[in-house]
Amino acid sequence: MAKFKPRVFSGVQPTGNLHLGNYLGAITRFVALQDTHDCIYCVVDLHAITVAQKPAELKASIREVTAAFLAAGIDAKKHIVFNQSQVAEHAELAWILNCVARLGWLNRMTQFKEKAGKDRENVSVGLYDYPVLMAADILVYRATHVPVGEDQKQHLELARDIAQKFNLDFSEEIAALGHGDTFFPLPEPLIQGPATRVMSLRDGTKKMSKSDASDYSRINLSDDADTIAQKIRKAKTDPEPLPSEIEGLAKRPEADNLVGIFAALENRSKADVLETFGGRNFSAFKSSLIDLTVEKVTPVGKAMDKLTQDPAHIDAILKQGAERARVLAQETMKAVKDIQGFVR
């Protein structure tokens, strides 16, 4: 296997309000990787339009996700922050990978089945092709590590399958052009931390989601202290006190979720949190969780608010990021075109 320089890539969709699930499951993980890796963080606006978006809201959401990256502590000078549509090579590589990926592979994608529901004949072709564009996002930078939530694991496996098939299908050309025996690395998912899946506050078996009808199901990064307190106080629980051991969370999805949120916010393990709260009742635990959430989340919301008041500043960061990303992506595309046999 050829050796690849470790490089992190990940993306967040600009669709509506960001919530604690996006923050703990993705953005804080992105922040943590900055000390050890070269990172590329992308606002995936081409993915967002796989379902209808109002253009004015899309633009605001792109800036909002960028503001969240910056507010959370992503350093856009040391690393790369940009929006996907400014680097045309993502879509260009996606087309080539469309001709590598097999229909049978895409037909297995559970997220498509969930999102399309019963209306399969009437969703966009883009929604179906979404995972191939995601593979292109990663592979156009030949990224090796991809921090994602649990729900994206299958898409990462698909990206690996696509990379592997490309490497095999064109192995002769890849070797002849001096790339050794593999052109694309097989990107590894990084699914880490106590909150890889943050669940709804109203139902511990459902993912926290911006599309849930009840705003009480989620904590938005823009929520103020009172709203956060109210939502956590109303969060569903069960009548038992908290367990002292992690095994005790097994059939208690709501308890598991709240303990996971606490652990992620404090950068501790769930076991460690239970050492403190095991045997205590939910009202005591919730009070501490409220304090902690307010302490950690409201400054991010406030910083985002400030940043989004200066859209020109955000747009300049995205533009600079896109220029740097494009240099890397163009290098890959040239090599891919040579491997594929295109004239350039």
- Near ligand TRP by CB under 6 A, which window of 9-17, 91-99, 116-124, 170-178? 9-17
What is the 8-class DSSP label of residue 11? E
Q: Which of 89, 137 has the CB closer to ligand TRP? A: 137
Q: Which of 137, 254 has the CB closer to ligand TRP? A: 137
- How many residues at the interface with ligand TRP, by CB under 6 A? 13
Bridge partner list, 82: 42
Q: How many residues does the chain have?
A: 344
Neighbouring CB atoms inside 10 A of 211's CB total 10
Amino acid at position 160, single letter: R
Decide: 45 and 119 in contact? Cβ < 8 Å: no
Applying CB under 6 A, does 11 fall inside the site for ligand TRP?
Answer: yes
Neighbouring CB atoms inside 10 A of 75's CB total 12
- Near ligand TRP by CB under 6 A, which window of 132-140, 173-181, 238-246, 335-343? 132-140
Instruction: Please give the Cα distance from 10 to 4 (Å, whole number).
Output: 17
Neighbouring CB atoms inside 10 A of 40's CB total 25
Could you say which of 61, 85, 144, 152 contacts ligand TRP (CB under 6 A)? 152
Neighbouring CB atoms inside 10 A of 328's CB total 19
Decide: 243 and 278 in contact? Cβ < 8 Å: yes
Question: Which residues does the annotation mark as catalytic?
Answer: 115, 207, 210
- Near ligand TRP by CB under 6 A, which window of 134-142, 161-169, 195-203, 220-228? 134-142
Could you say which of 13, 83, 144, 237 contacts ligand TRP (CB under 6 A)? 13
Q: Which of 146, 229 has the CB closer to ligand TRP? A: 146
Neighbouring CB atoms inside 10 A of 36's CB total 10
Applying CB under 6 A, does 49 fall inside the site for ligand TRP?
Answer: no
Applying CB under 6 A, does 21 fall inside the site for ligand TRP?
Answer: no
CB of 9 to ligand TRP, least distance (A): 6
Tell me which residue has tokens 């000390």: 35
Applying CB under 6 A, does 144 fall inside the site for ligand TRP?
Answer: no
Bridge partner list, 41: 10, 81
98-125 burial, b if ≥16 CB within 10 A, otherwise e?
eebbeeebbeebeebeebbeeeeeeeee
Radius of gyration of the chain (CA): 21
Applying CB under 6 A, does 62 fall inside the site for ligand TRP?
Answer: no
Applying CB under 6 A, does 134 fall inside the site for ligand TRP?
Answer: yes
CB of 146 to ligand TRP, least distance (A): 5
Instruction: Please give the Cα distance from 60 to 56 (Å, whole number).
Output: 6
Applying CB under 6 A, does 129 fall inside the site for ligand TRP?
Answer: no
CB of 65 to ligand TRP, least distance (A): 11
Helix/strand/coil for 184 = coil
Decide: 90 and 329 in contact? Cβ < 8 Å: yes
CB of 244 to ligand TRP, least distance (A): 34
Applying CB under 6 A, does 10 fall inside the site for ligand TRP?
Answer: yes
Helix/strand/coil for 43 = strand
Q: Which of 152, 182 has the CB closer to ligand TRP? A: 152
Decide: 33 and 39 in contact? Cβ < 8 Å: yes
Applying CB under 6 A, does 148 fall inside the site for ligand TRP?
Answer: yes
CB of 177 to ligand TRP, least distance (A): 26
Applying CB under 6 A, does 138 fall inside the site for ligand TRP?
Answer: yes
Q: Is 78 exposed, middle or buried (0-12, 13-18, 19+ CB in 10 A)?
A: exposed
Q: Which of 9, 183 has the CB closer to ligand TRP? A: 9
Applying CB under 6 A, does 48 fall inside the site for ligand TRP?
Answer: no
Applying CB under 6 A, does 9 fall inside the site for ligand TRP?
Answer: yes
Instruction: List interacting residues with ligand TRP (CB under 6 A).
Output: 9-11, 13, 44, 47, 134, 137-138, 146, 148, 152, 155
